[in-house]
Amino acid sequence: MGIWLAAVLAAALAPPEDDALPRSLQLEDDVVYLRGVASARLGVWTGRAFSFEAIRPDGTKASSKQQALFSASALAGVEFYEHLSILGTVEGDLASKISATVGGVYLGWRENPKPRYGKGVPDEVKIYAGLLFGHLTVDQTGFGSFDRGIGFGGGLAFGWELAPRLVVDLFAEYRYLKFDYKPDILSGDDHIGGSTGWFGIGLDYRF
């Protein structure tokens, strides 16, 4: 019995062979355990949920038909073991009468499919999700204001390497972020935003 327990304990304490682990979790000599990541993104935040029309108790109407905002954002954070990343983001969004600022925190995972599948696939594939919060205003006299919004977003990005530390990405992201209308209403919409999409291009630098 004692010999059997000793054998089990020895097996538990022995480090696993790299070949027994998934490729993404194998520890290689050239793996960078921790490094910084900085990104810049340009895109469009769009959706029918941006269309707004409400009638207030005094009979006045507030309406906005704009359904797309042009976006610019900056992200910065850290990447662990060349796969797991934590990024903070700050974003500005603008249309002719609507403007918004959005911030948040993303948790992401990056893979490099090209060594496995060869030519014809992106150098990188990333998935990410996180918490978003923001503020939105409509630049129209007497329109009324909105509460701050809290929601979430998640997306997929395909990247192509321009240099050893520089990657260009194409993004598609789903967002649920709505802003409640502060004035009382008789009928119509009580918020702007909700289920929307964000599409764009980005540039990643790792250091």
Q: What is the mean pLDDT of the segment spanning 146-150?
A: 98
**Band of residue 29 on the pLDDT scale cut at 50, 70, 90:** low
User: What is the C-alpha to C-alpha distance for residues 115 and 43, in angstroms, rounded to an integer?
Assistant: 29
Residue reference for tokens 């895109």: 43
User: What is the C-alpha to C-alpha distance for residues 109 and 97, in angstroms, rounded to an integer?
Assistant: 36
32-206 fold:
Porin (2.40.160)
Can you read off the two tokens belonging to residue 116?
A: 């496995």
The share of the chain scoring above pLDDT 70, in percent, equals 86
* pLDDT value for 19: 47
* Predicted confidence (pLDDT) per residue in 79-120, tens digit: 999 999 999 999 999 999 999 999 999 999 999 998 888 888
* pLDDT value for 4: 40
Q: Do β-strands 124-138 and 52-55 pair in parallel, antiparallel, or remain unpaired?
A: unpaired
**Band of residue 146 on the pLDDT scale cut at 50, 70, 90:** very high
What residue spans define the domains of the chain? 32-206
* pLDDT value for 17: 47
Residue reference for tokens 């002719």: 96
* pLDDT value for 13: 42
Beta bridge partners of 53: 63
Contacts of residue 117, defined as CB under 8 A and 6 or more positions apart, other chains included, come to none
Kindly list the strands in the beta sheet with 61-64, ordered across the sheet, starting from the edge strand earlier in the chain.
61-64, 52-55, 187-188
Q: Is the pLDDT of residue 64 over 80?
A: yes
* Predicted confidence (pLDDT) per residue in 38-59, tens digit: 999 999 999 999 999 999 999 9
